[in-house]
Structures are given as C-alpha cells and as structure tokens.
Structure 1
Amino acid sequence: MEDYAAKMALKPDGALREYVTGHAQYREEAVLAALNELRQRGQPAPEDATLRPQLEAVVQKAQADADALAAEAPETDVADLPRLYSPAGIVVVSATISVVAGAILLALNLYRLKKGNVIIWLVAFVIAYVIGRALLLKWMIAHHLFSPWTAPLIDLPVIIAYVWWFWPRYIGTYQFQPRNWLLPLGIFMLVIFVVLLLNPGTAQQLKEQIEQQMQQR
C-alpha cells in the first residue's frame, strides 16, 4: 500500500481520476491509493463514498488470506536444519585445490544426510574422472596440445556436475546451516604444502614439463 501511495503522489490529477473511473482494470490497492491521494489534494472523487468500502473490504480480505497462509506454512527451526558445505564452497575448493577436494566436501554433506550409498557413486565418478583426466592429459602432452589452461577447463564439467547434478538430485535442499569451508580449504592447502615440501622434485618436474611443452609449441 505504501508503494502505491508513493506512486500516486507523483501522478497528476487526471491520471488519478483515470484510476478511479477505470477501477475495474486496476488493482484494488492502486485505486484505493488514488482515492487517498485525491482526498489529500482536496479533490475527493465523487465515487469515493461508494467505491472506498468495496476496495477496503477486498484489500482486507486479501491481507487476511495472506496472513492465514503464512500462519499455516510450517516453520523450520534453524537449529533443525542440516549443517552442510554450500555449493559455492564446493566450487571454490574444487577450483582452488582440486575436484577431489570438492568431492570430499560433497561426500561429507551426503554422509551427514545419511546417504552413504550415493557416496559410493560419487567415489566411482571421481575415480573414473581422475583416470580419464590422466589419460587425456597424457595424450594432449604427447600431441603438443597441453597449456596451463587445459587442466582448469577439464575440471569445469566435473565442478558443474557437483552443483547441478549431485546437489539437486541427492542433497535435494538449499535450506541448511552453512558450514565454514575456509577451514577445510586451509587444511587442503597445508597438505599440498607439506607434500611439496617433502617431495620438492615433484613440483620442479611438473614445472619443467610445462616449460618444455611451451617451448615446443
């Protein structure tokens, strides 16, 4: 009602009169706001006395129906909602660390929802992806098609599958208490750092392979 009041305050008298005379084609709240604005301007509409009670009755009934629907709607206690890692968190972890790390967060969500059988399918999906990714990268390197952007592009369909397939199909809800994904992100980064620290040759070997590939192109 307040929005209509502000809208009518900007309209000229002729436009307000049009709302009143053509009230059948406008919302009741809009016509009632036009009547109020005309009255405030000291130009009450001749139809005010007969039209206002009808409009007020319709508006009040609509408000009562809306309140009744809101009262009947089940209220979900926030404390009862499951604590899950959000789709955004899964995407960030997958893109920053690896899709395996993102799959771990998704699997933790499934475990919390007691959907252990789906975790098996998720693990199989990730294993198949890792094998296929390794074979594809090996083939691309052999054919001089590898570039620094290759791996992220290959990972993109898997990340999309997490949030557009696994989440709506198996998580099935967007009402949850969000868990802090920064902690697992930090843990994953720490693990990678420790692995590289203990095996410095791995990072150097990967760097040399990329540099060699770039020189050959």
Structure 2
Amino acid sequence: MEDYAAKMVGKTDAELLLYVERRNEYREQAVLAAVNELERRGHAIDNVAALRSELQASFVESEAEALRNPAPEPAWMTRPATPEEPEQVAPDAPALYSPTTVVVFSVFSFLIGGVLMLLNLLRLRRYGGAALLVALVVLGISGLGWISKLVAVRPEYIFLAINVVLAALYVYVLWPNFIGAQTYRPRGWLMPLLIIFALNMLFMVLLRYAGVAIPGLGQ
C-alpha cells in the first residue's frame, strides 16, 4: 500500500490544498494524508471534522465495493495451459532413417550407418550426396587398413575412431547439406538392420581375405 503520509511531506502548501479542493479526483487516503499534513503545518481547514467523516465513509464504501466486485484475474492467470500439439507430418512425406538412428548404427559400424544414410539420400534423389557418401565410406575402409599398418594401436580402437568420425560427417555434413530441414516420417529399422548386418559381416569376411585387419576376425 502506498505511503501517502510520507508522500505529502514533500508537497507544497498549495499542492496540499489542491488535494482538499479537488478531493473527488483523488483517493480518500491521499486526501486524508494531505489534511493531516496541512494541520501539522498549522493551517486551519474549514469543517475539518465533517471532511474527515466524509472521507472515511467514502473510503469504507470503496473497500466494500471492491470486496463485492473483485477485479477479474488476468487471462494468463486463469487460462489453463494447453499442451503444444505435435507437428503433423504429411502422409506423403518421405520415410527416412532419423539422424539418431544413423548415428547409433554408425558408432557400431560406419558401413551400417552409411547404408542407412545412402538409402535416405537415394529416396530423396540426392545423388550428389550419395556419391560423396560412397567416397567417405571408401576412404574409411582405406583408412582402416592404412592406419592399422602405420600405427601400433589395437585395430578395434582404430575401427571405433573411424566409426565416430564418419558418424559425425553423416549427420553434421551430409544431412544439413543434402537433406536439411526436410519433413519426414521416421522409418522402421528392424528388418533393414538384419539385412545390413548380414551384408556387413560378408563384407568384413571379404576384407579379411584381402589382408585388412578387422576387429573380431582372425587373420
């Protein structure tokens, strides 16, 4: 609540008298504070007792009216929160493997993640991106054999490092540049996973006979 008494101390006599003369334009408490300050300064006010009674009665009536008719709460306080509706995907939107799916499978094998990403690019006819993807996979295969011969590190560590690097390239380079903010339907991955896993195992066996060290396969 505003401290009208302290406020009136800084007013001039003329300003205080204005509160009394135009009391219908001000709050009752403000006018009463002005009357008290004028009396404290030694000014006599005509019919001060009747004026006080009038102001007190008006103040009581205003308070009672406020209790009978409280001000409505703002709409933002009364409106129940409505959950945001999920974005609707068009029925004809292409079915793609999500970036998360691509990354998860790429961490296990960049070949599996590469196949999933390749299927996405071919479905959208992003042939330039598909060609770049194939080049990255070939580079990863070559790097696996080359690094294994040059660095005295266990092959599984090299394989994991290449998986992580290519997974990052799939989702942070290929996806933004060749797919972008494309609206799509998440594609089921169980059956393709089984097929890709079988092809991946076959490819690893072929690499074994080619003399490339692959984790999990003996020489």
Q: TM-score, normalised by structure 1?
A: 0.53
| Structure 1: distance between partners of 2:95 and 2:164 | 26
Q: Which residue of 2 aligns with 1:92?
A: 104
Q: Which residue of 2 aligns with 1:108?
A: 119
User: Does 2:60 correspond to 1:52?
Assistant: no
Structure 1 position 90, deviation (Å): 1.4
Q: Which has the higher helix share?
A: 1
Distance 1:166-1:200 versus aligned 2 partners, 3 A rule: closer
Kept after mapping to 1: 8 A contact 2:115/2:196: no
SS at match of 2:71: helix
**Counterpart residue identity of residue 187, structure 1:** I
| Structure 2: distance between partners of 1:145 and 1:188 | 28
Distance 1:137-1:177 versus aligned 2 partners, 3 A rule: same
| Structure 2: distance between partners of 1:179 and 1:155 | 22
Q: Which residue of 2 aligns with 1:128?
A: 139
Identify which of 167, 171, 175 aligns with 1:163: 171
Kept after mapping to 2: 8 A contact 1:196/1:202: no
Q: Could you tell me the percent identity over the aligned residues?
A: 28
Structure 1 position 102, deviation (Å): 1.4
**Counterpart residue identity of residue 71, structure 2:** R
Distance 1:48-1:180 versus aligned 2 partners, 3 A rule: farther
| Structure 1: distance between partners of 2:174 and 2:70 | 55
Distance 1:81-1:102 versus aligned 2 partners, 3 A rule: same
**Counterpart residue identity of residue 180, structure 1:** G
User: Does 2:126 correspond to 1:118?
Assistant: no
Return the index of the structure with the highest Cα Rg. Answer: 2
Deviates more, 1:181-190 or 1:194-203: 194-203
Q: Which residue of 1 aligns with 2:92?
A: 80
Identify which of 133, 151, 154 aligns with 1:146: 154
Structure 1 position 146, deviation (Å): 2.5
Kept after mapping to 2: 8 A contact 1:110/1:118: yes
Q: TM-score, normalised by structure 2?
A: 0.52
| Structure 2: distance between partners of 1:194 and 1:119 | 22
| Structure 2: distance between partners of 1:154 and 1:126 | 10
Structure 1 position 179, deviation (Å): 1.0
Matched length: 151
For structure 1, the residue ranges without an aligned partner over 5 or more in a row are 1-20, 23-43, 210-217
For structure 2, the residue ranges without an aligned partner over 5 or more in a row are 3-62
Distance 1:45-1:103 versus aligned 2 partners, 3 A rule: farther
Structure 1 position 167, deviation (Å): 1.7
Structure 1 position 157, deviation (Å): 1.0
| Structure 2: distance between partners of 1:79 and 1:51 | 51
